[in-house]
Structure 1
């Protein structure tokens, strides 16, 4: 049996995840009220320094998503996004149960699973990282 080349599926997953995260980060950073709303929500959860925390979360989601789309610094971006989603899982969604319609964690769980696949496989050959870098060095 021939070995399947899963490069295109990894690229598809990476780009879809990237679009989702970049869009959510964009909403937090650039849509009027998005950043203040995020900071207020984080403050309501008791997260310290809510303005700085909102900036970090927003930047991680926006730039992490863009880097996933491009396939650059993918593992670092993925690790930061996993941390972001774990915080969301434990502080926001877990107490609401599974269903996303009730504020639950099912969507966060799917995002975490996708990020784990990208982390385990890297960006794949259809990425800027594989085109311009080899073992962390410019080609």
Structure 2
């Protein structure tokens, strides 16, 4: 019985490492776009025929930055995960799918080392799976969602403790 109780207590912490890695990843990608200027990303969007490339570049930059930050700190995780999943699906189907599954596509070996081609959709699927896991589990311990739920602002309790009415 003690092991079961410990497992339930520890399950509240499962989302934390997932949130930190996913949140940091999105923030890093958003920051890279912002620091280089979203116009560079807009050129890529133009090449693949994306609509409104300038606006889409700015929108995706801020969704990644702010969405990543929200995931990182555990704020509105279920809500914020949706546009991030949509972004991953769009990227997967418009860019990465044609390069196959693997995120590492070695296309040659030179005297300077290996040469890599564009990444496949592996990382997109990992982000989507992680975000879906957070939607299902909630933000977990050490999160703003948990803090708000204790103040009566959100319904963020560990899923295993919720009972059907």
Report matched runs for 1:18-37 at 5 Å: 18-29=23-34, 31-32=35-36, 34-37=37-40
Report matched runs for 1:1-139 at 5 Å: 2-3=4-5, 4=7, 5-29=10-34, 31-32=35-36, 34-102=37-105, 103-133=119-149, 134-136=152-154
CA RMSD of aligned residues (A): 1.6
Larger Rg computed on CA atoms: 2
Runs of at least 5 residues in structure 2 that lack an aligned partner in the other structure: 106-118, 156-165
Distance in 1 between residues matched to 2:79 and 2:148, nearest whole Å: 17
Superposed structure 1 runs of 4+ greater than 2 Å apart: 132-137
Distance in 1 between residues matched to 2:43 and 2:104, nearest whole Å: 22
Distance in 1 between residues matched to 2:42 and 2:126, nearest whole Å: 25
How many equivalent pairs are there?
Answer: 135
Higher relative CO (Cα under 8 Å, sequence separation at least 6) belongs to 1
Runs of at least 5 residues in structure 1 that lack an aligned partner in the other structure: none
